[in-house]
Structure 1
């Protein structure tokens, strides 16, 4: 398999990041170029989807015949759950979301999660980090790889080049940048791989030096 780089485009092939205990498959779906991630435990073959954003047929093709243990939605914005109802209908997978965003997601949430909770992916798990600002209940998900650096799925709270959109609201921006600095940059090493809700991947170390300029520009 080709080396993983995380650069995917709508209509193009998925990319799979092969870790020792977890397979991470990234696919882009339209019309807003959202990223969806399928995680598969290599020991149990249990699969978990992060953000059933759109294009249910594309997502179901990536899921394949392995079934789906659960679907996690990173936040309430509709472009991240447009295909959720159809994927749930066709897989019977339970839904997971941050407690403070669940009411804004157009499909009922079966499991509410809070800061510090863990979500299993077979024999592996994801640690929930609650980030306030892009939405009230956005969550990031950290896979603490026992065989390498951590991996974090940030939804729309952290991207290459900045934090998520806070619509020019200074209070929301301050909340988000504080949470990102404290809960992500303050706890994760530079080599941590970052998988955002849109666009290319990055690392904590690539973004860390730019925090002061993000604060200065206010977005």
Structure 2
């Protein structure tokens, strides 16, 4: 992993690109109000591409996709700000639509786009010869998913949607039970399972590593958000 990637992107600004041994990650922010992150993943061997969250602005996303097309669009969860460009991107590329099982119907209701593949813990999504492992993290929504790429040449890379951010887990909107489920899933399925040098990419804002956030887990649990 040799690059100057920071993950600091702004709507209207340039994308940031990270090149791993087998995978290229392009991060771009869309929509001035919501500042969502979208991630274009490209297999260095085959050129196949997968988009994580067609959040908004197809006029920004489709030029990044280019002539190589998309094999799939993965929607990390059902909230409206993460799939506003889904219909346009799928219409332009014919990509397969992937989402977490419990959120799939809501995504279709909101976008009019059928979910071709409903995934949960243990499923995988191919990016050419690379593989993303699906981790279901319940709480921010019932069917939120994270995507894990185990780089054979370096630390793991994790796309967390709105389930994990620098500084805390995702919003559970005052629902104590949902928070308890979310913090438990994040702790057991992510922090207990992955090393400190795991780099994670959230649905909004800057990236971080698990090592930077791990010392604060007890604090997050105690404060209840």
1:141 is aligned to 147
- State TM-score, norm by structure 1: 0.99
1:21 is aligned to 22
Secondary structure, in 3 states, of the residue corresponding to 2:73?
Answer: strand
1:114 is aligned to 120
1:71 is aligned to 73
Higher helix proportion, which one? Answer: 2
Q: Is the 8 A contact 2:36 2:81 kept in 1?
A: yes
Counterparts of 1:104 and 1:194 in 2: how far apart (Å)?
A: 26
Counterparts of 1:197 and 1:134 in 2: how far apart (Å)?
A: 12
Q: Which runs of 5+ in 2 are unaligned?
A: none
2:161 is aligned to 155
Counterparts of 1:119 and 1:55 in 2: how far apart (Å)?
A: 24
Counterparts of 1:29 and 1:208 in 2: how far apart (Å)?
A: 29
1:130 is aligned to 136
Counterparts of 1:112 and 1:33 in 2: how far apart (Å)?
A: 26
1:200 is aligned to 206
Secondary structure, in 3 states, of the residue corresponding to 1:26?
Answer: strand
2:7 is aligned to 6
* 1:10-53 per-position Cα deviation (integer Å, ceiling 9, x unaligned): 00000001101000000000031000000000000000000000
Aligned-pair RMSD on alpha carbons?
0.9
Counterparts of 1:177 and 1:134 in 2: how far apart (Å)?
A: 10
Q: Is the 8 A contact 2:3 2:19 kept in 1?
A: no
Q: Which runs of 5+ in 1 are unaligned?
A: none
Deviation of the 1:59 alpha carbon: 0.3
Deviation of the 1:2 alpha carbon: 6.3
How many aligned residue pairs are there? 219
Secondary structure, in 3 states, of the residue corresponding to 1:152?
Answer: strand
Q: Is the 8 A contact 2:3 2:18 kept in 1?
A: no
2:39 is aligned to 37
Q: 1:203 to 1:109 in 2, by over 3 A?
A: same
Q: 1:12 to 1:2 in 2, by over 3 A?
A: farther
Q: Which moved more, 1:63-72 or 1:156-165?
A: 63-72
1:54 is aligned to 56
1:167 is aligned to 173
Secondary structure, in 3 states, of the residue corresponding to 1:27?
Answer: strand
